[in-house]
Amino acid sequence: MFLKSTKQKNGRINLSIVEGFRDPVTKKTRHKVIENLGYLDEYLDRYEDPIAHFKEVARIRTQKLKEAEAEKEIYLGYVNADEHMDEGEDSVKHMGFLPLSSIYHELKIDQFIINRQRSLDMDYSLNDVMQLLVYTRMLSPGSKLASFKEKDNIARPFNCDWYDVYRALDYFTAFREGLLLHLHEQVRINYNRRTNVVFYDVTNYYFEIDQEDEVRRKGFCKHNTRKPLVQMGLLLDEDAIPITYRIFKGNTHDSQTMMPLLQGTRIDYGLDRIITVADKALNSGDNVAFLMSKGDGFIFSQKIRGATQDLQSYVFDQADYIEKKDILKQVDAWGEKDDNQGAPVFRMKSRFYPQEFWVTHADDVKRKIPLDVKQIVCYNELYAKRQKHKRAELLAKAQNIIANPKRYNKKEAGGALRYVKNIEYDPETGECINIKRIPYLDFEKVVEDEKYDGYYALITSEVDMPDHEVVKAYHGLWEIERSFRITKSDLKSRPVYVSLESRIEGHFLTCFIALLILRLLGKRLNGEYAPEQIIESLRKYRVCFIKDNVFKSTYYDKIIKDLGDVLNLKLNKRFLRTGEIKQLVADTKKEI
């Protein structure tokens, strides 16, 4: 920087401090005004020699700028070509925990756990264990022991040993209910949680054991693992943000899980009237009666296959169907234009209907009671195409089974057996029994199934809600299915490797918190990225140790950039000293 004197047309001399730089286009030297000082004559009564004074100011500023720039320079010295790596050395550190830490501390989980630990006598940090299990569930999921081994690969310390990780699960279970309520309150305060419509569904998680116990019981599993299970009921709000969950015995029927979860949640969480959206497995008379007795509402899917003749006739009668636009669920809308053709057909109609439900009365006897509901039936062309595609795959497999029955056991044959006649399997081994009858394709079953392609039905207590709003609300249910898929596939919450009931509960609490933080990151990003994309970017965001407490960032993308912007974190530095990493960790604990 230097002082520039410029004589004006009026004869007065203007003073300014400027900085020279080379124009990248013209390659010529240009000047940028750092500070306009004003006219020389304005300073004559203040300084004996204004020119000399401001030249000294420019010199001092230049010196300070050089010193500041020198502090930024990182000198690594020489690299010895004979240096060897130590056995087990890993120079790469996770940095993807930083955005997770921001949400973790925004939800004040650290304060909750630290307050609970004050009355406990222990030499490790429950808060550190919780963070370790939540961050590794997202960045490098595995067993509890694997999570502990991963702690040294995360660019921050954790005060715990491997056996502390298991012991901490017992404490997490002890204050589980209080923590879930705390999380709900923080989401309500920070994210304006909406609970007029809630989504509920159930899934199961299997264990790598053969013997059942009090909680882990054998039950229905889509994957037919024949392993003991637990059931999980999960409740989401209108924005697909988790509210709460509950674990049930593995042999509990789906329909028997909703009432126990909602019973306490509505009161403890201070929820007003809610409309529960659920799939056909939850559509039972007891659930319908329970919700309506509480003054709540419901939107349930209704089976068509095997339904009353009256409902089937109404579905397949093409009269009164109305075509609707902009009603597809988001996952379908992404593929709305198929093969460059027009928008897929979506039709619907509705009627008010006094439907009878089997309801368990006080004497434990089920009796039919009529309830006025609205039935809505829909036809979705995209849904029909998907069903036809899946059936084509099953039929191709069925043909292979018919050609070579002994090639597949019953488990491997799976759903394709639906279309094969004259084939039997040993109930113990699942192997094909050698019989004289020749297997053949059941064409009648194929024709029967084709009839239902693209159709589905809903029932709702919300008789005054417009049909398209009811259907749109139901289409939001796919988000809960997606949440289950994320926890199982991306967060690898199964198989479960802990065995004690309290530690099973603790395991799923950490998985729930990981899912909650992931969903809140998605909300922070205005839903522009899928949860799976966020996970992928966080796992790639790492630094590599170079030398003398200096690390180099190895990955940066649009998602990391946007996370840094919304969370006020500087995540784009190519080189980081240890102190700067510590500062970033500290920044995640500040209010966003």
**What are the pLDDT digits (tens) for 416-443?**
889 999 888 888 888 888 667 888 999 9
Q: Measure the CA–CA gap between 14 and 33, rounded to whole angstroms.
A: 12
- Reported as a single tens digit per residue, the pLDDT across 72-129 is 677 777 777 788 888 878 889 999 999 999 999 999 999 999 999 998 999 999 999 9
pLDDT at residue number 223? 60
Q: Measure the CA–CA gap between 505 and 172, rounded to whole angstroms.
A: 8
pLDDT at residue number 431? 86
Q: Which of 520, 563, 567, 570 is nearest to 538 (CA)?
A: 563
Q: Measure the CA–CA gap between 302 and 282, rounded to whole angstroms.
A: 10
Q: Measure the CA–CA gap between 580 and 480, rounded to whole angstroms.
A: 39
The pTM of the whole model exceeds 0.85: no
pLDDT at residue number 435? 67
pLDDT at residue number 340? 46
Ordered DSSP codes for 217-252 = B----TT---S-EEEEEEEE-TTS-EEEEEEEETT-
Token reading at 69: 């720039």
pLDDT at residue number 409? 86
pLDDT at residue number 102? 97
pLDDT at residue number 336? 45
pLDDT at residue number 227? 80
List of the chain residues with pLDDT < 50: 331, 333-340
Q: Which of 229, 278, 275 is nearest to 258 (CA)?
A: 278
Q: 88 — phi, psi (to 5°)?
A: 85, 5
pLDDT at residue number 352? 93
